[in-house]
Structure 1
Amino acid sequence: MSQTKKKNSSGEETKPQTSFANKFFKGSKLRSSKAESRSESKDLETSDCQPSNGTEETTTPDPAKSQPLSSEMEGESRAEKNEQFLQKLGKKAVNKCLNLNNCGLRTADMKEVGEALKAIPELEELNLSWNSKVGGNLPLILQALQEGSKLQTLELVDCALTSEDGAFMGQLLPMLQSLEVLDLSINRNISGSLNRIAQGLKNTSNLKVLKLHSCGLSQDSVKILDAAFRYLCDLRRLDLSCNKELGGGFEGSPAQLATLRHLQVLNLHQCSLTAGDVVSLTQVIPLLSNLQELDLSANKKMGISSENLLSRLRFLPALKSLLINNCALENETLTALAEASVHLPGLEIFDLSWNKCIGGNLKLLVETLQLSASLQVLGLSSCSLVTEDVTLLASIIQTGHLAKLQKLDLSYNDSVCGTGWTVFCQNLQFLKELTELDISLRPSNFQNCGQWFGHLLHAMTKLPEITEIGMKRWVLTASQEEELERFNQDHKRRIHIDHGGFQ
């Protein structure tokens, strides 16, 4: 989540060292800082060493007056070293933000990172992600962050954090009263110190984003976090995805999750949710009335048990993104989803891919697709669609529905015959805002393009925004290759067509 940067409204005079730090993190060049220092030094020499009447006099320098110069030179030396360090990494601190993600930091760099933080006392955003050497060195790096820190965003994704780092994080969090975004994703070893982290989270009442994607969370982890949720009343985004051993943790109705009334994004992708989890979430999720994005995808055990949960999605009127791909939905659950989704007029992203039950049953979703005037992304990949499903979709498009659609994924539906693709391509031109279309075949299947390919090329001339056509494993004949070459010559737009080659 991108954060809005606060402007520095302070107009007060500052000490020379603070002044230089401010210049430093506005990204000022080192040479200009040196020039300013030389100019200020010259002014000091003039005022201290020369009389106002222009006659030569010998005066003894006042140590008290020399102290600011010494302090400034010390600050300049520190900032110069820090700037040299950041230049070596190809980075710089800008607008109170220090981004060192994926810099290949070495163990020897850790102390210099700690020193760099001291030179930026007003730091609001810090990103050290994708640097494995941060693991085991977190206390050394973040020791500069003291109580009263203005840090708002801290990202430590895939830093090989240790259990000890996690314990330190638990101690540090109460000092970061301004913290709004905390991302500890892809650090599997911190699960051992989750108790300490959760204790620290209880003191971060301003936290709006918490990401623990792929952190090795277990069933017990859910209960530990649930105890902290009641203190995070402003939380907007919660990501617990890709914690495959978390399944079963929601059983027993985690009551505190329901207190996150301002939650807008809940990501439980690939969490091995059980039938018991679904029962508990059925009681909780409908209470999150501000929810805008819900990701339950890749939870294959949901199956038939998700019928009640999906039927209650009607109580989430603000929902814009619903991802339930690869959830082993069955006919009953699809019916429940269809009935609930007509109450989601603001839906923009709807992904049902890899649910085989949709094949032959797309008609259940007709009303939803007709009412979803804001829909921008529709995923129906590997849904066992048949020709009737695709022609039905073409009919919906022809009547002016799905006019806002930008991305449409119909890949891996190999059972659709040429007639279906022809009807579809003939009506594709009505999707004026479409940018990406994927009709690729499965990896094991190669087929020749039918007559529909000509209709596809014609539709592309009517689609001003299209940039990407996925046609993997569809093979063009010699005449179709010529058609494509003529199209490319006549239309100088950048449209990438990824097909299976020429016959």
Structure 2
Amino acid sequence: MSQTRKKTSSEGETKPQTSTVNKFLRGSNAESRKEDNDLKTSDSQPSDWIQKTATSETAKPLSSEMEWRSSMEKNEHFLQKLGKKAVNKCLDLNNCGLTTADMKEMGEAFEMIPELEELNLSWNSKVGGNLPLILQKFQKGSKIQMIELVDCSLTSEDGTFLGQLLPMLQSLEVLDLSINRDIVGSLNSIAQGLKSTSNLKVLKLHSCGLSQKSVKILDAAFRYLGELRKLDLSCNKDLGGGFEDSPAQLVMLKHLQVLDLHQCSLTADDVMSLTQVIPLLSNLQELDLSANKKMGSSSENLLSRLRFLPALKSLVINNCALESETFTALAEASVHLSALEVFNLSWNKCVGGNLKLLLETLKLSMSLQVLRLSSCSLVTEDVALLASVIQTGHLAKLQKLDLSYNDSICDAGWTMFCQNVRFLKELIELDISLRPSNFRDCGQWFRHLLYAVTKLPQITEIGMKRWILPASQEEELECFDQDKKRSIHFDHGGFQ
């Protein structure tokens, strides 16, 4: 689930006649009704689960047959409204305004879905403080593989309960606790529980208020997470300094493919320690170190050693205040990253006037799909170099190109670029917008851009914010809009 999804949660405590859960799961459209019909005729009906559960060792005996029948009917009704989600062993209730009353109903339903593998309760604030009630039915031997609890207002007590529950969830592969800042108080319990989740592949603790001490607590658990593929510790601004005492166990994550440390206030000493670890993660495919501005003068050794990561596909290092020496080290290392698909250098001013250092990388990058150079103080010579690389047939796989907020490029530079951009046959998005404080008239290069668009079969979006079209070019664009056979959005600054 995307962490940028907007949170909408109900603050009401009173449960309506039909609960929020039931409204969400009823399936009022045709597709949902079809799923309900399929459910009734399938071999795996809710009633089958109820009968099996009633005879299982884990089923709790009721005091009377009437109570038993009442409970079965209630849960059967609830499960039928789950529709296809229950059949698929997945319950997705993210962002649906669950109330406190809904929690008890879910806790009872889980007992009737012993095969549940995926649970998503993200963006429901009432989950916080009620996690034991919701997950109390999960016992040792549970088949749950994914638990997502993003922005659920989890409390420290919830975290303690989760830490105690984790050893029972031997099949767990994905745990996302992002945007729950209060769980940092129970991180010791969570880390202790993580030591027993040897099958865990994804751990996300984005924006959880982690501190320097938190890194050391988690590091003690890393040695037990040999199967981990993705680790997200991003947007924990108090984490800076936590890596200073070398995180020795981080190197144990031999299968790690994604490491996200963006906006973590990394210090020079952090970078020094990570220099000893990151290059040893030979399976790493995605590395995000962006928005760590103290890296600018201290990351030369780390960036130069990225050459030892041949599987790296995505390198995001925007807004790191890189200096000329660190950029040179990065440029030299990037030549060895033949699998690179995403390269983001935006908001590093030192790139301007020095794009030539990346010339060999751009020529050799057969897989590059996304190149972002926004607000890099690019000059006309940089764009001319890029145009030359494109003209000679390189960057053929490029799909997204961001050159926005580079206001020092003259019209001659844009002309050279627009004359050659037509060779990027797989380009989908192009952004050449100006800074918010700057407005300029489009030059004659706009005519070349319109012609190039006719040669680009995949293009759908062209960002041109704050470029003003004179009357003559307005007519050209109107004619183009009338003649074109596909939808292309020109986001420009208006007509003059």
Aligned to 1:81: 78
Partner deviation per Cα, 1:402-451 (whole Å, 9 max, x = no partner): 00000000000000000000000000000000000000000111111110
Task: Say if 1:135 and 1:165, in contact at 8 Å, map to a contact too.
Answer: yes
1:101-500 pair list within 5 angstroms = 101-500=94-493
* Counterparts of 2:39 and 2:490, CA distance in 1: 50
SS at structure 2 position matched to 1:93 = helix
Q: Does the C-alpha gap of structure 1 residues 31 and 221 become closer, same or farther in structure 2, counting only changes over 3 Å?
A: closer
TM-score, L = length of structure 2: 0.87
Which deviations, in whole Å up to 9, do the C-alpha atoms of 1:43-90 show, x marking residues without a partner?
A: xxxxxxxxxxxxxxxxxxxxxxxx999978853441203445x58xxx
**8 Å contact kept, 2:79–2:86:** no
SS of equivalent to 1:98: strand
Letter in 1 for 2:468: V
Shift of 1:249: 0.2
After superposition, the C-alpha distances for 1:29-50 in whole angstroms (9 at most, x for unaligned) are 499479x99x99xxxxxxxxxx
Shift of 1:110: 1.1
Paired AA for residue 446 in structure 2: F
Q: Deviations over 1:237-274 (max 9, x none)?
A: 00000000000000011100001010000000000000
Tell me the distance in 2 between the aligned counterparts of 1:152 and 1:497: 44
User: Where do 1:4-83 residues align within 5 Å?
Assistant: 28-29=36-37, 32=40, 75-83=72-80
Question: 1:447, 1:113 → 2: CA distance?
Answer: 58
Structure 1 segments of 4 or more deviating over 6 A?
A: 67-73
Q: Distance in 1 between matches of 2:126 and 2:355?
A: 50
Mapped partners of 2:311, 2:373: distance in 1? 23
Counterpart in the other structure of 1:55: none
Query: How many residues of Structure 1 are paired with residues of Structure 2 in the alignment?
Result: 449
Q: Shift in Å at residue 175 of structure 1?
A: 0.5
Report the RMSD for the aligned CA atoms in angstroms.
2.4
2:421 maps to a residue whose letter is L
Q: Shift of residue 114 of structure 1?
A: 1.1
CA contact (8 A) 2:311 2:337 kept: yes
Letter in 2 for 1:130: W
Displacement of 1:189 in angstroms is: 0.4
Q: CA–CA distance in 2 between the matches of 1:74 and 1:103?
A: 25
Shift of 1:460: 0.2
Distance 2:122 2:290 in 1: 25
Find the aligned partners of 1:30 and 1:419 in 2 and give their Cα distance: 63
TM-score by length of 1: 0.86
Structure 1 contact 218–246 (Cα < 8 Å) conserved: yes
Distance in structure 2 (CA, Å) of the matches to 1:265 and 1:81: 38
1:155-214 deviation per Cα after TM superposition (whole angstroms, max 9, x unaligned)? 000000000000000001000000000000000000010000000000000000000000
CA distance in 2, matches of 1:190, 1:32: 41
Percent of aligned positions that are identical: 79
Is the 8 Å Cα contact of residues 39 and 87 (structure 2) preserved in structure 1?
A: no
Alpha-carbon distance in structure 1 between the residues aligned to 2:367 and 2:40: 51
- Which residue of structure 1 lines up, in the alignment, with residue 52 of structure 2? none
Contact 1:93 1:99 in 2 (8 A): no
Alpha-carbon spacing, 1:286–1:30, altered in 2? closer, same or farther (3 Å): closer
User: What does residue 15 of structure 1 align with?
Assistant: none
For structure 2, the residue ranges without an aligned partner over 5 or more in a row are 3-31, 49-63
Name the SS for the 1:441 alignment partner.
coil
TM-superposed CA distance for 1:489, in Å, is: 1.0
Q: Please list the CA deviations of residues 340-368 of structure 1 after superposition, one character each: whole Å capped at 9, or x if unmatched.
A: 11010000000000000000000000001
CA change 1:68–1:316 in 2 (3 A) is farther
**Structure 1 portions without partners, runs of 5+:** 3-23, 41-66
CA drift at 1:120? 1.2
**Distance in 2, Cα, partners of 1:332 & 1:31:** 63
Q: Please give the alpha-carbon distance, in whole angstroms, between the structure 1 residues aligned to 2:395 and 2:37.
A: 51
> In structure 1, how many angstroms separate the alpha carbons of the residues matched to 2:67 and 2:206?
48
Contact 2:86/2:116 (8 A) holds in 1: no
Q: How far did 1:118 drift? A: 1.8
